[in-house]
A and B are shown apart, each in its own frame.
Chain A
Amino acid sequence: MRFAVNGEPVDAEPFPGQCLRTLLRETGRTEVKKGCDAGDCGACGVLLDGEPVHSCIVPAHRAAGREVTTVAGLGTPEQLSPVQQRFVDAAGFQCGFCTAGMVVTASTEEVRTADEADLPRLFKGNLCRCTGYRSIHDALAGRSTTEERGVAGGIGRAVRAPAAERIVTGREPFTLDLATTALTHIAVLKSPHPSARIRSIDAAAALAMEGVLAVLTHEDAPDVLFSTGRHQNRLEDPDDTLVLDPVIRFAGQRVAAVVAETIGLAEAACRAIAVDYEVLPAVFDPEEARSAGAPLVHGEKDPLATRISEPGRNVVAQKHGELGDVDAALEAADVVVSGTWRTARVAHASLETHATRGWLDADGRLVLRTSSQVPYLVHAELCRLFGLEPERLRVFTARVGGGFGGKQELLTEDLVTLAVLRTGRPAQYEFTREDEFTIAPLRHPKRVAVTLGATAEGVLTAMDVDVLADTGAYGNHGPGVMFHGSHESLAVYRAPNRRVHTEAVYTNNPPSGAFRGYGLGQVMFALESAMDEVARRVGISPFELRRRNAIAPGDPIVVTDPHEETDLQYGGYGLPEALDLAEAALEEPGEPTPHGPDWRLGSGMALGMIATMPPRGHFSEVRLRLDPDGGASLDVGTAEFGNGTTTVHAQIVAELLAIAPDRVRIRQSDTDGARYDTGAFGSAGTVVAGKAVHLAALALRDRVLAAAGPGASLGPDGVRTPSGVAPLGAFAPLMTTGTADGTPRGLAFNVHGFRVAVHVGTGEVRILKSVQGVDAGTVLNPEQLRGQVEGGPAQAIGSALYEEVTVVDGHVTTRVLRNYHVPQMADVPRTEVRFAATYDDLGPFGAKSMSEAPYNPVAPALANAIRDAVGVRPHELPMSRDRVWRLLHR
């Protein structure tokens, strides 16, 4: 059949049942993205004869004789269309994976002529997980919020992301946006049972199918235990996972993997495999799981070798401690508040699913291109698993389409390695959207019991916290989330008597993993709700209660162990200012109050404290080179997935060399590039990698100045010396390195406030005002940081009001985006972001990290506002309309 794409004729024969999206990508139009493959997210949007469609649900044969326009057909990086220019000007993207569809939708007549108030309706078919939509709204309205990159210097300016023009025209390649000849595809046969032992696998029929290259089972996989969760220190996660395991611990676990010429063939071959299962008893409730007689998920494992705390009790990690005498303090307290709170499973819902493509290069070396936050850690673990020499493996990422902690995992790279090493052919393993809900790790659901004691003046005297986390079938990030979750969330208050019991337990549910905030948010939901109740009982404002109890410089930063060795420091302490900013902003007018007798009004707040870097070491070593043209080339290991670190790194180099940010060329996240980076997690991209970049740039500046002689300085015109100005490039080649080790660590504070109206008849929660006071240290890029902060509340409003991965007897029932409500434009209010004027002693130019932090205090702030409005306190997330309604009617 013939059709046209962006004016070019295309001759292609779609196979029966092919959708337009895959046909377009097959013919090289990789600007058309797969986000959901089900018509829900809008990333695949194109124009068909000028009308906007989701190309993943358009049968390909219908394109015959018609004209398709993709985002690339609307403009080029050199000649942007007006709509594309607006997305650049307003920084209307972060990871950029949704942007192609956003821009195509924005280009339509319906949108261009629409009233601004109608935009939420017109964009309900376009999901963005990063921005919180404010910047997209600005783009649609034509409001410019950024600066050109052609001016020397950079720190403190709203410089545009280096990739902006490529993102808005669909030119920036993501993980699978490349052509690979002779590519094979991997499909996985998944267990229908949550607990079983594989007696036998008969793959003869599958292997006999034409186009099937291999069927991989546990007999083909290395017999080496590892964890999909990756950390700098691999000992932080239990070794409880095999690439392919004959024991099944959750529904959806890999049973076999088929390598075939097409993904359709691979799937058909999976259906042809016969598996004999011995179904075993399963446990789904975390409380039952740690009780006597429960089926043991990893009972056969050696606790010492695998670092599972108590395999005989399904406990992967635990911590128990007491400081002072909690019982006596509660006995003596004027006010005692107690409650138990629960949080739901939440999916990261990055628009780009997990994926890896691998091949052997000309030297026979294995190369993996993966959607990972941690390519270096993946590299190290794959070498260990498959016995590869480090130099025989290269792992790199292109731009990654969103992470949120979900890509701090080794989920696809191992099977691709196995397939490529077995067949010698390039291979690809791409998660479906359903895989993201069913086999990719989710946010840990937690049950948190809190009892607080206080004096009549509102001074905390006792804090008793009991946390139970369901880590699911595998312990990836289980210990880390458990320890970290009960740290800064509790250490923020100065209660002299404190007790913490916390356990993370195995169940036969899908695995939990790392999620933005790394366990803190769940505990804060409980603790900050309890704090709110204390303020009510004492009769003071919740802001005032925090002022009276939050730690301040001079106070120890501890949970229950006063002798705990810590590298945490106060750095620039911005809590008082963040409290003041949020409190003042909350008083200002917001959305109009809805009319009617059934609406109740309320306001609430909560605070979050978080370390500016992950604990126990986070390393980065970068290389910076001065080029003869006066520009600079930077090799940095951290990945770009919408966090904006690339922009900031360019700004840091530009500032120190007095060049324009667009003269900084950055190569990133490639084990062939920078020597090392632990990875883009724990909010480390600015404060660790950025610190290394800062040091490398300082060293480079010093080398130039030393070479130029006494009295030299750097200016936008070049190197100024007493004898005149020399071009910077004249000092090339020069090369420096910078390293950072992620210690000591500082603290950042975020205070969120909400004013809400709650409808008592329907349970609807309408947000009238949303504000966040942010202690970010020096703001390196105000527009980018604002966007980053706004994305936190947007994602958190999803977790607080809408999102829940429901699991029934180990089986996920919310398997597509239309049954799992990721916030749309209509759901996200504008959050006013106010920055405290702090300066951090540790970060580059005084900056703190600000990736996870803005997410954490949002759910409790909203819960407290709902409590204020309706007089009943929510104890469960999400606070969906039906749950809020039930609070009032049951």
Chain B
Amino acid sequence: MDLPTLTEVRLPTTRVELALSDTVIPLGGGTWLFSEPQDHLTGLVDLTALGWTPWERRPDGGLSVAATCTIAQLTRIPADPGWRALPLFRQCAESLLQSFKVWNTATVGGNIATALAAGALIGLGGALDAELVIWTPDGGERRQRVADAVLAQRTTTLVPCEVIRSIEFDSVPLAARTAFRRIALSPLGRAGTVLAARQDADGAFVLCVTGGTTRPEVVRFPSLPSAAELATAVAAIPSWFTDAHGAADWREAVSRLLAEEIRQELAGAEAAR
């Protein structure tokens, strides 16, 4: 929709031209910003004008994804023997409520910065312990894990004038086995709960629950937990909530169910090794 309170939309060519403020904020794909009234804003600075390379293999075998990388570009990263976790990227992208057409516009950074409970790439970042590189207003940068940067629905640790520059994936989690489950109140509807998990080569197990919790909830075990251990850990998650996409009690119950499915899937893979 039109955002008629804006008086400027700028296309910066360098970082110094960002000149953000409380009411002039970064524009990624715009698929969320343009989907709701933003009467408090006066300007947007289009990050896509900076021409960032969508993604790059890091020298250490990790992956650096620019904040402006579109969901479509993210899903097209070619398979790599060291990046066994890549299928999780597509599974999380498919978890987006919006269709493949929106993938052409929506960006990875935008999805995380918007901090919706159902933010599909928050679950991806949480499960793979991805780290945000955030440009700070003083010209420096800071780093923070995705799961720590998202505090609540529509709330992150980002302060005005900060910008997500990239999302960094280390090589160890990228090499992990992954598993993914989601359920909504309808077959392809907005997520009721999303569970993204990985098991590293050393056996460590990480599960990130999003969608049904107000913030990404990460559960860790040094090795694959027992069914009871995992159920207890999921039940201990404090931030289930109720909205149009599911009641809190249902979200908790189906998350326990799906977590166990994930556990069994990874246990099966472990046994087959």
**A383 within 8 Å of B (CB atoms):** no
From B13-21, B101-109, B229-237, the one touching the partner chain is B101-109
Tell me the residues in window 39-76 of chain B with beta carbons closer than 8 Å to chain A beta carbons: 39, 41, 43-44, 46, 48
The contact of A18 among B2, B35, B186, B244, by CB within 8 Å, is B2
Tell me the residues in window 764-812 of chain A with beta carbons closer than 8 Å to chain B beta carbons: 764, 801-802, 804, 806
The contact of A17 among B44, B245, B254, by CB within 8 Å, is B44
**A262 within 8 Å of B (CB atoms):** yes
- Is A123 a contact partner of B99 (Cβ separation < 8 A)? yes
**A813 within 8 Å of B (CB atoms):** yes
A267–B105 alpha-carbon span in the complex (Å): 28
A52/B6 contact (C-beta < 8 A), A57-B31, A121-B188, A885-B250 known = no
Residues of B within 8 A of A52 (CB): 100-101, 104
- Is A124 a contact partner of B35 (Cβ separation < 8 A)? no
- Is B4 a contact partner of A122 (Cβ separation < 8 A)? no
Known: A59-B9, A761-B253, A882-B192; 20 extra A-B contacts, CB below 8 A, are A15-B4, A17-B9, A17-B38, A17-B41, A39-B98, A45-B101, A51-B101, A53-B104, A56-B35, A57-B30, A57-B31, A105-B101, A123-B99, A125-B102, A263-B4, A432-B1, A763-B250, A820-B244, A824-B188, A881-B250
**B157 within 8 Å of A (CB atoms):** no
- Give B85-100 as 1s and 0s: 1 = Cβ < 8 Å from A's Cβ atoms: 0000000001001111
**What is the CB-to-nearest-CB distance from B106 to chain A, in angstroms, rounded to a whole number?**
9
- Is A762 a contact partner of B183 (Cβ separation < 8 A)? yes
- Is B39 a contact partner of A271 (Cβ separation < 8 A)? yes
A54/B101 contact (C-beta < 8 A), A59-B34, A802-B185 known = yes
A227–B176 alpha-carbon span in the complex (Å): 64
- Is B2 a contact partner of A19 (Cβ separation < 8 A)? yes
Residues of A within 8 A of B102 (CB): 39, 53-54, 57, 125
- Is B105 a contact partner of A53 (Cβ separation < 8 A)? yes
Tell me the residues in window 95-130 of chain B with beta carbons closer than 8 Å to chain A beta carbons: 97-102, 104-105
- The 7 A-B residue pairs with the shortest CB-CB distance, nearest first, are A264-B4, A125-B99, A17-B6, A17-B3, A882-B250, A37-B1, A38-B35
- Is A19 a contact partner of B187 (Cβ separation < 8 A)? no
Residues of A within 8 A of B245 (CB): 819
Tell me the residues in window 114-133 of chain A with beta carbons closer than 8 Å to chain B beta carbons: 120-126
Residues of A within 8 A of B38 (CB): 17
- Is B1 a contact partner of A38 (Cβ separation < 8 A)? yes
Residues of A within 8 A of B4 (CB): 15, 17, 262-265, 267-268
Contact sample, A vs B, 30 pairs, CB 8 Å cutoff:
A15-B4, A16-B6, A17-B6, A18-B3, A37-B1, A51-B101, A52-B101, A57-B31, A58-B34, A59-B44, A59-B46, A61-B9, A105-B101, A120-B188, A122-B100, A125-B99, A125-B100, A125-B101, A263-B2, A267-B4, A762-B183, A802-B186, A802-B189, A806-B244, A816-B36, A819-B190, A821-B189, A827-B188, A882-B192, A886-B250
A819/B243 contact (C-beta < 8 A), A17-B2, A262-B4, A882-B185 known = yes
Residues of B within 8 A of A42 (CB): 99, 101
The contact of B1 among A56, A125, A268, A814, by CB within 8 Å, is A56
**B264 within 8 Å of A (CB atoms):** no
**A563 within 8 Å of B (CB atoms):** no
- Is A264 a contact partner of B99 (Cβ separation < 8 A)? no
Q: Number of residues in B with C-beta < 8 Å to the partner?
A: 52
- Is A16 a contact partner of B8 (Cβ separation < 8 A)? yes
Which of B11, B32, B183 has its CB near the most chain A CB atoms (within 10 A)?
B183
**A22 within 8 Å of B (CB atoms):** yes
**A320 within 8 Å of B (CB atoms):** no
- Is B1 a contact partner of A122 (Cβ separation < 8 A)? no
**B246 within 8 Å of A (CB atoms):** yes
- Give A1-42 as 1s and 0s: 1 = Cβ < 8 Å from B's Cβ atoms: 000000000000001111100100000000000000111101
**A110 within 8 Å of B (CB atoms):** yes
Residues of A within 8 A of B35 (CB): 38-40, 56-57, 816
A39/B31 contact (C-beta < 8 A), A58-B105, A806-B244, A885-B253 known = yes
Which of A38, A110, A123 has its CB near the most chain B CB atoms (within 10 A)?
A38
- Is A827 a contact partner of B186 (Cβ separation < 8 A)? yes
**B197 within 8 Å of A (CB atoms):** no
Residues of A within 8 A of B189 (CB): 802, 821, 824
**What is the CB-to-nearest-CB distance from B103 to chain A, in angstroms, rounded to a whole number?**
10
A823–B186 alpha-carbon span in the complex (Å): 9
- Give B142-178 as 1s and 0s: 1 = Cβ < 8 Å from A's Cβ atoms: 0000000000000000000000000000000000000
**A184 within 8 Å of B (CB atoms):** no
Which of B2, B97, B187 has its CB near the most chain A CB atoms (within 10 A)?
B2
Tell me the residues in window 216-273 of chain B with beta carbons closer than 8 Å to chain A beta carbons: 243-247, 249-251, 253-254, 257
The contact of A813 among B1, B183, B244, B257, by CB within 8 Å, is B244
**What is the CB-to-nearest-CB distance from A787 to chain B, in angstroms, rounded to a whole number?**
22
**A818 within 8 Å of B (CB atoms):** yes
Interface residues of B (CB under 8 A from A): 1-9, 11, 27, 30-32, 34-36, 38-39, 41, 43-44, 46, 48, 94, 97-102, 104-105, 183, 185-190, 192, 243-247, 249-251, 253-254, 257
For A34, the closest partner residue in chain B by CB is B1
A468–B41 alpha-carbon span in the complex (Å): 45
Q: Main SS of the interface on chain B? A: loop
**A508 within 8 Å of B (CB atoms):** no
- Give A351-378 as 1s and 0s: 1 = Cβ < 8 Å from B's Cβ atoms: 0000000000000000000000000000
The contact of A761 among B11, B246, B257, by CB within 8 Å, is B257
**What is the CB-to-nearest-CB distance from A48 to chain B, in angstroms, rounded to a whole number?**
8
Q: Number of residues in A with C-beta < 8 Å to the partner?
A: 65
A58–B35 alpha-carbon span in the complex (Å): 10
A17–B40 alpha-carbon span in the complex (Å): 12
Residues of A within 8 A of B257 (CB): 761-762
**A880 within 8 Å of B (CB atoms):** yes
A120/B34 contact (C-beta < 8 A), A53-B104, A264-B4 known = no
Which of B4, B30, B38, B243 has its CB near the most chain A CB atoms (within 10 A)?
B4
A51–B244 alpha-carbon span in the complex (Å): 31
- Give A37-73 as 1s and 0s: 1 = Cβ < 8 Å from B's Cβ atoms: 1111010010010011110111101100000000000
Residues of A within 8 A of B34 (CB): 19, 39, 56-59
A826/B186 contact (C-beta < 8 A), A58-B105, A125-B98, A819-B244 known = yes
Residues of A within 8 A of B249 (CB): 882, 886
A17–B99 alpha-carbon span in the complex (Å): 23
A39–B105 alpha-carbon span in the complex (Å): 11
A268/B243 contact (C-beta < 8 A), A57-B30, A762-B257 known = no
**A889 within 8 Å of B (CB atoms):** yes
Residues of B within 8 A of A826 (CB): 186-188
A882–B255 alpha-carbon span in the complex (Å): 12
A16–B98 alpha-carbon span in the complex (Å): 25
- Is B46 a contact partner of A61 (Cβ separation < 8 A)? yes
Residues of A within 8 A of B6 (CB): 15-17
Residues of B within 8 A of A57 (CB): 1, 30-32, 34-35, 102, 105
Residues of B within 8 A of A813 (CB): 244
**What is the CB-to-nearest-CB distance from B174 to chain A, in angstroms, rounded to a whole number?**
26
- Is A881 a contact partner of B185 (Cβ separation < 8 A)? yes
A880/B185 contact (C-beta < 8 A), A15-B4, A761-B257, A806-B244 known = yes
For B258, the closest partner residue in chain A by CB is A762
A818–B2 alpha-carbon span in the complex (Å): 18
A757–B27 alpha-carbon span in the complex (Å): 45
The contact of B9 among A16, A120, A818, by CB within 8 Å, is A16
For B70, the closest partner residue in chain A by CB is A51
Residues of B within 8 A of A820 (CB): 244
For A45, the closest partner residue in chain B by CB is B101
Residues of B within 8 A of A51 (CB): 101, 104
A124/B99 contact (C-beta < 8 A), A57-B105, A61-B46, A821-B185 known = yes
- Is B1 a contact partner of A818 (Cβ separation < 8 A)? no
Which of B6, B46, B48, B185 has its CB near the most chain A CB atoms (within 10 A)?
B185
Residues of B within 8 A of A885 (CB): 250, 253-254
**What is the CB-to-nearest-CB distance from B136 to chain A, in angstroms, rounded to a whole number?**
26
